[in-house]
Structure 1
Amino acid sequence: LRMVSRATILLMISQIIFLLSGFLINSGLARLLQPIDYGTFGLIMSILVIVELFVITGIPEAIQKYGGENPEAMSKLISKTLPWQIAYAVAVFGAFWLIAPVISKIFGDSNLTFYLRIAGIDIVIYGLYKYFLGVQNGLHRFVHYTILGITYSLSKLAAILGLVWLGFSITGALIGNIIGSILALILALAFSRIAKTDAEPEPQSYLSFVIQNVFYFVGLNLFFSIDLWFVKYYLSGASVGHYVSAGVLAKLTYLLSVALSAVLLPSLARTIRLQQETRTRDLIKDSLRYLLIFLIFINTVVIINAKGIINLFFGEEYLTAAPIVSILIVGLSLITMMAVINTIMIAKNQMKACFVMIVSLLILDAALNTILVPRYGLYGAAIATSAIGLMGTVWGGLYILAEFKTLIFSLSTIRLAGVTFFVFLISNLFNHDKIDVIMNAALVGGVYLLLLWLTKEINAVDLRRLKESLGIS
């Protein structure tokens, strides 16, 4: 009898709903708004996400980590950290409000000031929601944690699309985003009634943890926004909207791979601490192999069906983004690979090396976009991102080789390349215009998985590991 833990099921459902709601928001807005307005919304949200990372990856992550280590002391930990979270979030909001006109001037669009200031209201509300979400996780209340995540996703979906459908355009979408945070925060407050105890949290260097966490995640997420910012700076009209739609599809590889880093970090940290060198190497090789199988699977399905997927979810007005998706998804997949390699480096206590890599690549990214976007437009932005992803993967791969004496690419990579080549050959036998895009994607994915099984790239051991990771017995 198959038994799946309740917590695992709920967390999976929460993550799936989060991804689906985000995708549906973008798909709906692309159809409800004109490409120019959709591009403006995408630009504003890309800026807001980076700013909010300063608020949500610091203290909320600390309370999740240290509160989880000592749940009995959570009430005292809240009394110490909540005032700091509120003050910090308000300060970030104030700074964002003041620099909104500067950002607008940089992009040459005076209308952005109004939208940025409305969007900025979410900084404080979302920051508090993430704080209390961290409290639930720290207390191991995984059911509450999951319910909050689902509430946030669905509230945001309904509020954004509802207000835009009523005719409130970009302003409605931004207010809908705030409403989603407000509703989730109200529920989080209701869940966060904690009995006071005398237990004291252990003395910790919270500031060091917060600073490292904030700058790492801000730096990493900039790779997903810089190209769009340069597109807005150099290009105009519907180009921004087209690039936003391409980015939504291309980012799926990263969003769907986040779970691997969450599982990999504690497992690797443990084997490294216990000096289990063989186990560490095997864990790295297996994790990167599974990641590569998954990334190639998503890339193959999307690239072969790019035109149909864009038309299905975004409409005919965005079909010019189809070839951009095919380039950009490769670049963001490489950045995803780099991010997972960074997780390995962090497990080895090499956060400083990660900082050096990220800062160096961000500078190169800006330089490449400066050169390529004016010359090649949207293609230039996608190529710049892909080049940076390749550099980051090679850089990280050299680190893995030097530190763990193992390659990130091996014979398995050659087999995967061969399988992918045959999938593309087989796909050319079909007339994609006459096959439903969903059926076509399922067909391509099925052929890919079948060839992996026939070439023994995946086997019974891999299936057993998948069951174990899902808690299925």
Structure 2
Amino acid sequence: MNRSIASGVFSVVSAKVIVLVVTAVSTPLLYRFLGASAFGDYAFLLSVFAIYMIFVSSGITDGVRKFLAEDRNAANWSEHVVGFYFRLAIVLAAVGSLLLVAAAQFGIVALAFGDELTIYFYALAVLVLTAQFRDYARKTLMGFGLERYSEPLKVLDKLGFVVVAIPLVYVGYGVMGALAGHLFASALVAAVGLVLVHRRISLSCLFSRPTKRFPRAEMLTFNSMSIVLVFLLMSLYHIDIVMLQRFAESSDVGNYRAALTLAEFLWFVPLALQTVYVHSTSELWSNNRHRKITELASRTTRYTFLLTAVMAVGLAALADIAVPLYFGSEAEPAVTPLLLLLPGALGFALARPILAVSQGNGTLRYPVAATGTAAVINVSLNAALIPRYGMHGAAIATSVGYGTMFAFHCWSARLVGFNPLADARLGQVTVTTVLAAIPIVALSMAIPNQLLALAVVPPVGFVIFLVFALLTGALDPAEPFEILAAFPDPIGSRADSVHSRLEGRLSGDTTRNWLQNLLFVAGLSLLVSGLALGILDASI
């Protein structure tokens, strides 16, 4: 990973960590203030809105960041790209908003979803406008490589939502109060974002007309394929919520959404990588650096597997404690769906960066085919299992759909022209996960105090996982510092110094053998300790 890509990842990850913390605080408050039933209605509305916005904005946001990043040798290329997509954003936002108003006014919403939800679609119609320009501004900044601006806007969006929505929901405005928070935040971010874009490229480009050689057909083709891809991708996120609303109580939808919220915490780093890689790898593809792309993708797959696996193991070990403590005792039914969702969430996490690299190539027919196959499996299983098994059936179906994404996108990547498994070390990472899970789960079971378990298990579990990763060869001793060395100073320079010293000390066979023996003893001790704790806990 070169320094420019790593800097973008660092900016995105930093913002996502802040957003994750704010979300972690605000979501249980919303759940408690709304109650499981109203929270289910709120989750359903956001799922419908997310699917609807695919047709309004996804082609625009993906297209503007891809084609800006290419920086072709054409006169006023950036101005024409920004202006082309700005005009398209205005037209689609206006049409999308009017269609929602018409659907609510003429009873289509009431017929499809019930009279009680109709009023909320007027708020969603306004949200179409603000969300369109929020996303356009952020993705335009990303296309210019300005993650240092685009990512703080995401933080501003989340904070603006929380500042408005939580008080309104608390005083009794319910779902409409939560939607008002989204309206305020998206309008604020759209205004600030467009000002930042204007500082880089004057928005008067809205009125400029590019030459006949401007690749409108190529852009519109990419937009169309992006819409199909994002629709299939978002169906994996939201179709379970929409179908569950049809066959189950709103409280079940709310608890299932709570389980999904926790499972999706596994994605914050893969999402950051996916966000950056679309436009960053576009430049690598345009320069035909296929070997670099394969190296980047395969190492990213391995690091994503390691990081997501340790989080999944820790979350599974603490699920009985974390869910009721986080959401309240009303959310205890969410524990089982969460456990069922975790394996699939892990597979989806692995697929995300691979998909982004494929998108950077611009050849979307293979990613669309891979995502479409997984989406068909997901919809079919949800249709078969939800009517009979409710939210547990939705969790199983969605987990399988998520999990197949990794396999299908590995196949897609080979057809696009890179190998995401070249240095993935899937066997070593899988063995690491299985071995580390034993002492981590046993430790969580052996600590009777819930708060103490939440404080002890995550850091100790991470150390246990790291030891097994080094023992199995899933991670080389110097690699963590090599990764950090690519990030901006002062982190980069200090990590690079440590990496160089560590590489020098590990260059001799004697030193390597000594380290391997030490790790073997440590790993064996942890495994035996885990088994002993499990046996002791079972006997008690």
CA deviations 1:21-49 (Å, max 9, x no partner) are: 33333222011111101111111111112
Which amino acid is the alignment partner of residue 25 of structure 2?
L
Instruction: Tell me the number of residue pairs that the alignment of Structure 1 and Structure 2 aligns.
Output: 469
1:90 and 1:21, CA in 2 relative to 1: closer, same or farther beyond 3 A? farther
Residue number among 153, 156, 167 corresponding to 1:151 in the alignment: 156
- CA distance in 1: counterparts of 2:371 and 2:237, whole angstroms: 13
CA-to-partner distance for each residue in 1:412-453, whole Å, 9 max, x for gaps?
433333333443344433335362524433333333233323
Aligned residue number for residue 457 of structure 1:
474
Residue 97 of structure 1 contacts residue 120 of structure 1 at CA under 8 Å; is this kept in 2? Answer: yes
Which stretch shifts more, 443-452 or 138-147? 138-147
Q: CA deviation at 1:273?
A: 6.1
Amino acid in the other structure paired with 1:176: G
Does 1:133 find its partner at 2:111? no
Q: 1:106 to 1:389 in 2, by over 3 A?
A: same
User: What is the CA-CA distance between 1:283 and the residue it aligns to?
Assistant: 3.8
1:94 pairs with 2:98: yes
Question: Do the aligned partners of 2:66 and 2:143 also contact (CA within 8 Å) in 1?
Answer: yes
Query: Are residue 370 (structure 1) and residue 383 (structure 2) matched?
Result: yes
| Structure 1 stretches lacking a partner, 5+ long | none
How much has 1:91 moved relative to structure 2? 0.8
Q: How does 1:167-316 map to 2 (within 5 A)?
A: 167-191=172-196, 192-193=198-199, 194-195=201-202, 203-204=214-215, 205-264=218-277, 266-267=280-281, 270=284, 274=288, 276-277=290-291, 281-316=294-329
Instruction: Report the equivalent of 2:87.
Output: 83
For residues 242-265 of structure 1, the C-alpha deviation after alignment (integer angstroms, 9 at most, x for no partner) is 011111111122333112234555
Question: Contact 1:35 / 1:238 at 8 angstroms: preserved in 2?
Answer: yes
Distance 1:139 1:390 in 2: 33
Q: 1:447 aligns with which of 453, 464, 471?
A: 464
Single out whichever of 178-187 and 385-394 deviates more from structure 2. Answer: 385-394
1:166 aligns with 2:171: yes
Deviation at 1:104, TM superposition (A): 4.8
1:141–1:447 distance in 2 versus 1, CA, 3 Å: closer
Structure 2: tracts of 5 or more residues without a match: 494-540
CA deviation profile, 1:42-81 (whole Å, cap 9, x unmatched): 1111111222233332223333333442695544544444
Trace 1:49-64 onto structure 2 (pairs within 5 A). 49-64=50-65
Match of 1:35 in 2: 36
Amino acid at match of 1:13: S
Give the residue type in structure 2 aligned to 1:203.
F
CA 1:343 to 1:80, structure 2 compared with 1: closer, same or farther past 3 Å? Answer: closer
* 1:153 aligned partner, one-letter code: K
Which amino acid in 2 is paired with 1:207? L
More displaced 10-residue stretch of structure 1: 238-247 or 439-448: 439-448
| Per-residue Cα deviation, 1:11-30 (whole angstroms, up to 9, x for no partner) | 44322223333333322201
- Residues 432 and 440 of structure 1 are in contact (CA less than 8 Å); yes or no, is this contact kept in structure 2? no
| Structure 1 length-normalised TM | 0.87
Name the Cα RMSD after superposition: 3.2
Is the partner of 2:237 in helix, strand or coil? coil
The residue identity in structure 2 corresponding to 1:431 is P
Q: What TM-score, normalized to structure 2?
A: 0.77
- Distance across 1 between alignment mates of 2:33 and 2:231: 31
Q: SS of the residue aligned with 2:474?
A: coil
Q: What is the rounded CA distance, in whole Å, between the counterparts of 1:309 and 1:343 in structure 2?
A: 32
Task: Output the CA distance in 1 between the equivalents of 2:147 and 2:401.
Answer: 37
Amino acid in structure 2 at the alignment position of 1:291? T
Deviation, 1:120, is: 2.8
Q: Distance in 1 between matches of 2:77 and 2:89?
A: 18
Q: Quick one: percent identity of the two aligned structures?
A: 18
1:385-424 equivalences under 5 Å are 385-398=398-411, 409-424=426-441
Give the whole-Å Cα distance in 2 for the aligned partners of 1:189 and 1:292: 37
